[in-house]
Amino acid sequence: DTAVSQTPKYLVTQMGNDKSIKCEQNLGHDTMYWYKQDSKKFLKIMFSYNNKELIINETVPNRFSPKSPDKAHLNLHINSLELGDSAVYFCASSQAGGIRYEQYFGPGTRLTVT
Amino acid sequence: TQLLEQSPQFLSIQEGENLTVYCNSSSVFSSLQWYRQEPGEGPVLLVTVVTGGEVKKLKRLTFQFGDARKDSSLHITAAQPGDTGLYLCAGGWAGGTSYGKLTFGQGTILTVHP
């Protein structure tokens, strides 16, 4: 069974379009994240939700809007896509509490904006 | 802002050689994790260290957390082609909140030639 899954795996779209990426985890975790990995492989956190509540919102353009319908799902909607949005987006999950902060990542969604 | 400096960025070695990857910061972290990422996949957690001076071994991989919990190293003995991949260190901290987040290093792309 896949622990953290994302759809789609690849997304190719044109500038100005709106697109969504979906994420689901079956680990029973209460915290989920969205990360962006750029072409240099640098991984940066974008958002984090704990039990459907937004707890981390890094400096991300308003065009990005996360939504968590329940603690097992976290979706990312992107409006008015720009060339600079091209990257690999990873969903991750963890269990809050303690100091280990271990996260489990999905396979990623490669977004290409043309 | 917590920053993690990871070095080297690229490492190309022959099978059987030893190598060390470093992760340094001026900030104290509650935990330090090492992930490995293969092309087209998400990062996979290798180990978490939480105590200053802690050493953990995973087969040919040895991980160390600095005494002051500001730095860490990953040492691979007798590298094999199967060790090829992107290695990421990540520092966990709560930053005064109840929820932890990870700051990632820039990553080390390791290539082991047969």
Per-residue model confidence as pLDDT tens digits over B48-102: 999 999 999 999 999 999 999 999 999 999 999 999 999 999 998 876 665 678 8
Mean pLDDT of A15-32: 96
Interface with chain A: mutation pick from B101, B108, B110, highest number of A CBs within 10 Å: B101
Asked whether the predicted pLDDT for residue A1 surpasses 70, the reply is: no
> CA B32, CA A102: separation in Å to the nearest integer?
9
> CA B37, CA A50: separation in Å to the nearest integer?
25
Which has more confidence, A45 or B97? A45
- What pLDDT is stored for residue A65 in this prediction? 94
Phi and psi at A102, nearest 5°, equal -70, 135
Contact A61, A78 (CB under 8 A): no
**Mean model confidence pLDDT for chain A:** 93
Least confident range from A17-21, A50-54, B79-83: namely A50-54
3-state secondary structure of B102: strand
Residue A16 half-sphere exposure toward CB, CA atoms < 13 A = 0
Mean pLDDT of A85-97: 92
Mean pLDDT of A78-97: 94
Is B98 in Cβ contact with A96 (below 8 Å)? yes
Whether the CB of B8 is below 8 Å from some CB of chain A: the reply is no
Percentage of residues in chain B having pLDDT higher than 70: 94
